Structure formats: structure tokens, C-alpha cells
């Protein structure tokens, strides 16, 4: 049995819950860290229904103090952390960069990039001491190339890709695998809570009905592969697109 932290798995519309449920089915006990404690508790209850142990913890990934408490609680409950999935993130509604604000930049960078660093820094010393661990960071296809009207989000996710590659080289010889996933268009993006404009949501709904979007289960399966024993030689890699690598640019122009 392995113990996994999955951040951002409290949302009932994102990839995080799919990751948590897939890992639970693969035999992992799960720590759900999310700013939305009620949502985290709901996911934890569903994990427990699969026969696995789970705890829900309030954790704002931009807060070093809250992340530190999450890690302490995980170690107190389970005694170890085998897997960290840095999934917590926030989308930025598409708009020209010139119309964006400093607050929008700070939000996108702090959650999508700095949050990955904060959680990794909190867990990594434990993994180094055990000479074992798997870290999977959630990037985006938007971080692999320029995305008009998505500059802030793309910049943050590009940082995740590069952070993954650099850290992987640092810790590979210590028995720790670090990789990332860059999903394409997600089926979750058509939810009204996503903040995207109605025309975008309608386009995504149409593509989802045709089976042309990436599902939480797709991402969960990709994560399960990267944290499995068969991926021990895979380090510093970015799985691109998963099912479909179409970007929102295609939908809006």
C-alpha cells in the first residue's frame, strides 16, 4: 500500500478527484488537501467507500504554513508519504494580456506555479530521507507553447514544466521520480464554475459529447502509471495531451 497526497482534489468538477479515486482503486491511501474543506471531505468519503483510508485537510497551496500542517498531519496519520500529486490550480478566463491586471497575474502564478513549489518543498525532505518518492505535477498543454488570450495561465504552466525537469535531475539519484502531465482540453472545462465565456463552454460541451475531451479518469490513469513501480526509469518527463491536445485557442478563434 502507498500513501498519496493529492492537492486540489476537493473540487467535484476537476481532475483532482479523478486522480484521487484512481489512486485509491490502485491501492493507495489518500490525503486530500484543498482550500475547500467541505469538498475535500466529500472526496475523502468516496475514497473510503472504496475501502481505502483517507483524510481531508484544509490546505491553501499558496500558504507555507497550511501546507506544512498538511504534511505534518499526513505523517502523523500514515507515517510516510510515497506520492505527491501537485494538482491544485486555477484557470484564468481568456482575455488579451493588455487587459489583465496585476492581481490576475499574481493569482495565476501563485496558485499554479508557486503552489507546486510550496508543496514540493514541504514533502521533499521526507522523501529524501527515505530515498524514495514519486512527484507528479499538473502542467497544461497551454504551457508548451504560446496561447493567445491565455498568457498568464500559459506562463505559469510553462514554469511547472521547467521546474519539473530541473528538479527531476536533482533528485533522480536519490530514488525520487519527478514528472508532469500537460492535459489538453478537459471535459470539466464546460462547467459554469470554470469562469469561461458561454461560447467557449458551448463548444466544449459539443466536443465532450463527441468524446473529444480529456476526462478525470484519463488523467487519473496517467498519474497511476507515473507513480507505479513500472515507471521507475521515467524521470523529468511531460506526458502531453493525454487524449486530446487541442487548446482553448482552437475553440475561441
Q: At what angle do helices 15-25 and 37-48 cross, to 10 degrees?
A: 30
What does each C-alpha distance from 206 to 189, 211, 245 come to in angstroms? 12, 9, 16
153 is catalytic: yes
pLDDT at residue 200 greater than cutoff 80 = no
- pLDDT at position 252: 40
Which range marks the domain in which residue 170 is found? 2-252
Is the pLDDT confidence value at 245 over 70? Answer: no
CB 242 within 8 A of CB 171: no
In this structure, the number of other CB atoms found within 10 A of the CB of residue 209 comes to 11
- Global confidence as pTM: 0.89
CA distance 30 to 24: 7
Domain count within the chain: 1
Q: How confident is the model at residue 202 (pLDDT cuts 50, 70, 90)?
A: low
pLDDT band at 242; cut points 50, 70, 90: low
Write out the three cell numbers for 86. Answer: 501537485
Percentages of the chain per state (helix, strand, coil), in multiples of 5: 55, 15, 30
108 pLDDT band (50/70/90 cuts)?
very high
pLDDT digits (tens, 9 = 90+) for 29-48: 999 999 999 999 999 999 99
> Crossing angle for the helix pair 115-130 and 151-171, nearest 10 degrees?
10
Q: Cβ of 32: how many Cβ atoms within 10 Å?
A: 30
Tell me: pLDDT of 208 over 60.
no
- Above pLDDT 90, what percent of the chain? 74
**Burial degree of 49 (CB within 10 A; 0-12, 13-18, 19+):** exposed
Distances (CA, A) of 202 to 133, 185, 217: 41, 13, 22
Return the number of other C-beta atoms located less than 10 Å from residue 60's C-beta. 19
Specify the CATH number for the domain of residue 224: 3.40.50.720
Query: pLDDT-based confidence at 247, cuts 50/70/90?
Result: very low
Q: What is the pLDDT of residues 83-105, one digit of tens each?
A: 999 999 998 878 899 999 999 99
Looking from the CA of 201 toward its CB, the CA atoms found within 13 Å total 11
245 vs 84: which has the higher pLDDT:
84
Write the burial class of residue 56 (CB in 10 Å: 0-12 exposed, 13-18 middle, 19+ buried). Answer: buried
- Report d(CA 74, CA 54) in Å as an integer: 10
Q: How confident is the model at residue 149 (pLDDT cuts 50, 70, 90)?
A: confident
Q: From the candidates 78, 153, 163, 244, which is the catalytic residue?
A: 153
The per-residue pLDDT for 82 is 99
Amino acid at each position: 500500500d502507498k500513501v498519496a497526497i493529492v492537492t486540489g482534489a476537493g473540487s467535484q468538477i476537476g481532475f483532482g478527484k479523478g486522480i484521487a479515486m484512481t489512486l485509491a482503486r490502485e491501492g493507495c491511501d489518500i490525503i486530500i488537501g484543498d482550500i475547500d474543506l467541505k469538498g475535500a471531505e466529500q472526496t475523502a468519503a468516496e475514497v473510503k467507500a472504496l475501502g481505502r483510508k483517507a483524510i481531508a485537510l484544509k490546505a491553501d497551496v499558496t500558504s507555507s504554513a497550511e501546507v506544512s500542517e498538511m504534511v505534518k498531519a499526513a505523517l502523523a496519520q500514515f507515517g510516510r508519504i510515497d506520492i505527491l500529486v501537485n494538482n491544485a490550480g486555477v484557470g484564468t478566463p481568456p482575455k488579451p494580456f493588455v487587459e489583465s491586471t496585476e492581481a490576475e497575474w499574481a493569482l495565476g502564478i501563485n496558485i499554479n506555479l508557486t503552489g507546486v513549489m510550496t508543496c514540493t518543498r514541504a514533502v521533499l525532505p521526507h522523501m529524501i530521507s527515505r530515498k524514495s518518492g514519486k512527484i507528479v505535477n499538473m502542467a497544461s498543454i497551454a504551457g508548451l507553447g504560446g496561447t493567445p488570450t491565455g498568457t498568464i495561465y500559459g506562463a505559469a504552466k510553462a514554469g511547472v514544466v521547467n521546474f519539473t525537469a530541473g528538479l527531476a535531475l536533482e533528485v533522480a539519484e536519490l530514488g525520487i521520480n519527478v514528472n508532469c502531465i500537460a492535459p489538453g482540453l478537459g471535459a470539466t472545462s464546460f462547467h459554469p464554475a470554470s469562469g469561461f465565456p458561454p461560447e467557449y463552454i458551448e463548444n466544449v460541451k459539443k466536443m465532450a459529447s463527441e468524446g473529444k475531451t480529456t476526462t478525470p479518469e484519463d488523467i487519473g490513469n496517467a498519474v497511476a502509471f507515473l507513480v507505479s513501480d513500472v515507471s521507475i526509469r521515467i524521470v523529468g518527463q511531460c506526458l502531453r495531451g493525454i487524449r486530446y491536445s487541442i487548446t482553448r485557442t482552437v475553440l475561441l478563434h
